[in-house]
Structure 1
Amino acid sequence: MKILVTGAAGFIGSHLCEKLLQNPNHEVIGLDALVYKSPTPIHVREYNLRYLLAHDRFTFINQDLLQVPLSEILPGVDIIYHLAGMPGVRSSWGEDFKTYVTNNIEATQRLLEGCRKYPVSKFVYASTSSVYGEKTNQVNEDAKTEPLSPYGVTKLTGEQLCKVYATTDELPLVILRFFTVYGPRQRPDMAFHRFIQHIRQNKPIPINGDGLQTRDFTYVGDCVEAIAATAYAANIIGETINIGGKERASVLDCIAILEDLFGKKVDMQLLGKASGEPRHTWADIQKAQTLLGYQPRTDLRTGLQAEILDLSQTPYL
């Protein structure tokens, strides 16, 4: 089976490629533009690829999805995992929004056009819990989508584009909505990465809001198990599926775990509430459990311990 992963050098993308290559029947093509405006520096994404580049069933294409000749990569591809895009809620405001439109909407549309000429058996679109906006209770896939940020708007637009092609061209679409993924290789702009680095450097942890906001934290290893399961899952075409984690907690709960893991109290710097972020997220994952056999296994303490270890062993930090 030939599989294309866009955004292959990213946090989730690199883990997914490694997971897919554990199956000897998989050949993986990784596409990544290594966009310089991304929250993840280029040298970090190059480091993410270090194991993949040595694998004989992995091919890396360092090109922009808006420029790469799709006629050279799509023929013979069975599954597309479309993870490429510009991430991050806080940086999606102002002039930078243009970058989000380019990478999250225009690039998606071009890939979808390519699938009209070179059909695939599954097109898996990586979306986000940000499309839901502010919700007070556990949210299932039928909940109203009300994004609070320009980033969320672009990801929801990507979903809608995919649905248009699914309707007009019978694109075999599956949408996955990820909830706060963390773990080794997490982006430097994300909270846990910043918290851990500040603790290591004896700096106060910057916290947006009061710290009582909660998230459904999804360990990256659990997340890629769910993504990879779509390759062979039956009866999922046309479905939108939440991918949440094993444990939901507040920011202050997470800091308490980090204090215990580091064996010391940490100082906190309370900042204003970040624009575009919901106060709470909580995934209903019943559909993922039923359709994908998904069962998140990694608790927050174990996952944070793995991220701390990874950061301590990363040579560029």
Structure 2
Amino acid sequence: MEDASLDSNEHRLALVTGAGGFIGSHLVDELLARGWRVRAVDRRSPSGDSLAARNLAHAIGSPRFAFEHVDVAGPHLGELLAEVDAVFHLAAATGVRGSWGKNFASYVQDNITATHQLIEQCERAGVPRLVVASSSSVYGGAAGGASSESGAVRPLSPYGVSKLAAEQLALAYAARRDAATQVVALRFFTVYGPRQREDMAIARMLNAVRTGRAMRLYGDGSQRRNFTYVSDVVAALVRAEHTALTGRAVNVAGPATLSVRELLELVAEVTGRSVPFVEVAARSGDPEATEADFELSRTVLAYRPQVWPREGIAAQWEWMHHNGTRGHA
């Protein structure tokens, strides 16, 4: 992570939704390290949720950190936006498989309704900047090459549809002539690293190595993903807060695209053990490939991913030895 002047952030206040989760907790740690005051919002309280407690362990106790046990879609969020300089919106219902069928109602509530409520409240409070976490799932895949922000969006799952609706809602508000809040949406590509959700591919592979229990390999392993280490995502979030850009979505991805088979081989090299797995049918909604066009993020965020998969997987493997395997979005 690049250096920053702590003095310049000393009196600044950030509100982070989904702060007890994977990316949110890493962002909280980074903002505190940079001198920000942080108001953390999550419906999972560290006092009652072991994952939130573990993820926020570094932040709890800091005099510049305050946790608020609040649902973003609930009625009390607006009370927390007073004097806030920037909101980072990371709270969301996650996962492709769980978004099908009747469960989609919770994705509508958590991803679309909650985002609408948040941007309305930010406008009323006059919050200068909102950074929204979106997803590469809005593209549906990269069969024709790298996905660019100006290209087509064709979500393949209800989850992808909900993330696209959420980002477009926020960007529509930002496009109004009288908009009080500037908005940037970051489309994350397959984020991994310490605290990653245990149902994600790299966490499942490392857990299979650690326990000797075979993981499920969905499909034939030819699927390709642009893997992004969590510290690179956090760097992009911080940069997005002070960019002049508003009303746009921007890709955030890692430096390498690997097939699932190549990832299995890399995990084996890092851990010194083969990953036990059993092949099962591919899941509906999973794209064959994701790959990001970086031009806009390079231009407007000066974004350069720093962590290559071998280094990132090694860091996640080491973390698992000290902290176990459970993680959350």
Length-normalised TM-score, structure 2: 0.90
Aligned amino acid, residue 138 of structure 2: V
Of the three residues 96, 103, 108, the one matched with 1:96 is 103
Identity of aligned residues (%): 39
1:127 and 2:134 aligned: yes
Relative distance call for 1:79 and 1:262 in structure 2 (3 A) is same
Preserved contact between residue 17 and residue 41 of structure 2 (Cα < 8 Å): yes
Q: Report the counterpart of residue 4 of structure 2 in structure 1.
A: none
Query: What is the CA deviation profile of residues 135-159 of structure 1, one whole-angstrom value per residue up to 9, with x for unaligned ones?
Result: 2111110111110000001111101
Q: What corresponds to 1:218 in structure 2?
A: 228
AA at the equivalent of 2:214 = P
The answer to whether 1:163 aligns with 2:171 is yes
How far apart, CA to CA, are the structure 1 residues paired with 2:299 and 2:146?
A: 17
Superposed structure 1 runs of 4+ greater than 3 Å apart: none
Tell me by how many angstroms 1:264 deviates. 2.4
**One-letter identity of the residue aligned with 1:140:** S
What pairs up with 1:160-309 in 2 under 5 angstroms? 160-168=168-176, 169-170=178-179, 171-233=181-243, 235-309=244-318
Structure 1: any 5+ residue segments left out of the alignment?
A: 36-40
Q: 1:21 aligns with which of 23, 26, 32?
A: 32
Q: What is the distance in 2 between the residues matched to 1:283 and 1:46? A: 33
- In angstroms, what is the RMSD of aligned CA positions? 1.6
Verify: 1:65 aligned to 2:72, yes or no. yes
Provide Cα deviations, 1:170-228, integer angstroms capped at 9, x if missing partner. Answer: 13111100000000000111111111111111122311111011000000011101111
CA distance in 2, matches of 1:310, 1:245: 20
> Does the CA contact (< 8 Å) of 2:191 and 2:227 recur in 1?
yes
Q: 1:316 to 1:43 in 2, by over 3 A?
A: farther
Structure 1 residue 277: deviation in Å?
A: 0.9
Q: Distance in 2 between matches of 1:266 and 1:28?
A: 39
For 1:190 and 1:16, how far apart are their aligned partners in 2? 19
Counterpart of 1:49, as a letter, is L
Contact 2:89–2:130 under 8 Å retained in 1: yes
> Partners in 2 of 1:180 and 1:315 — Cα distance?
21
Contact kept? 1:180, 1:217, Cα under 8 Å: yes
Question: Are 1:213 and 1:280, in contact at CA under 8 Å, matched by a contact in 2?
Answer: yes
Cα distance change on mapping 1:167 and 1:292 into 2, 3 Å: closer
Residue 43 (structure 1) aligns with: 50
Distance 2:138 2:274 in 1: 35
CA contact (8 A) 2:205 2:275 kept: no
Tell me the matched-pair count: 310
